[in-house]
Amino acid sequence: MSSAVSKLARLSRPFTVLVEGNIGAGKSLFLDRFNAFPNLQVLKEPVDKWRNLNGQNLLQLMYEDPVRWSLTFQTYVQLTMLEQHMSCVSPIKLMERSIFSAKYCFVQNLRNEGKMAESEYEVLTAWFDFLRSSSEINLEADLVVYLRTSPQVAYERLKGRNRGEEQFIPLKYIQDLHALHEDWLIGKQAPIPAPVYVIDADKDHKDLDSEFLELKKFISHKNQSGKSVSNNSDHENYRQQNL
């Protein structure tokens, strides 16, 4: 791909919002609010793919035996999240999680717990760094929405929804992931791809109307302006007013 074509590909991406948060933060419910929004693509986590790769439930295998399956699972997560980042069917795109949280939170947690060998971690890191630095792959984002929950609230929600693979998850796992999300999105201990808008997601999702309307107004402005890439002054104004 020529440098000119590569540059055009990067400029023509949709306005991209990453919705991040712990397991049980309410990301799917929050994204459901945008389903009827015009000219907007909502991409949920590709969990169905993780549960069925030609009959293999990689998600369950990873939870059952992370030492054996964490590299296999996270390699596939990285691939499927890359597909989400590259999807471009509407001028605005909302993604549930990203290739960044996969690396900075979930892969890092496996490494911290000793459930991923250092050699495996370095392989995933090499792939991640290659994808981030490639001029032909656009991983840029315009806004990160952090649904911030306390570990106990997230854990109670997790138990309440009773998803099969999640029966193996202890409270400590949620606490560790919370700490890594905080380190990344609040402490800025890893690169953040866009300004961060923090929402108190300990509230019931029904009590997040004001936050939704604020985001809806901001996204509507982007939609009406016809911009596929965020304007720096708009972005800075939003950051100063809301972050």
Q: Which of 84, 15, 75 is nearest to 234 (CA)?
A: 15
Contacts of 32 (CB under 8 A, 6+ apart): 42
Distances 29 to 24, 46, 76, 93, 162 between C-alpha atoms, Å = 10, 15, 25, 16, 16
- Write down the catalytic residue from 20, 45, 83, 96: 96
The span from the CA of 221 to the CA of 239, in Å, is: 15
Residue/partner pairs of 218-227 with CB below 8 Å, 24 or more apart: 218/143, 219/15, 219/17, 219/34, 219/37, 219/40, 219/92, 222/15, 222/91, 222/92, 223/38, 223/39, 223/40, 223/91, 223/92, 226/91, 227/15, 227/91
- For helices 209-225 and 232-242, the axis angle rounded to 10 degrees is 170
**Does the annotation count 113 as an active-site position?**
no
Q: In the structure encoding, which two tokens stand for residue 96, read together?
A: 């549930």
Give the catalytic positions in this structure.
Answer: 96
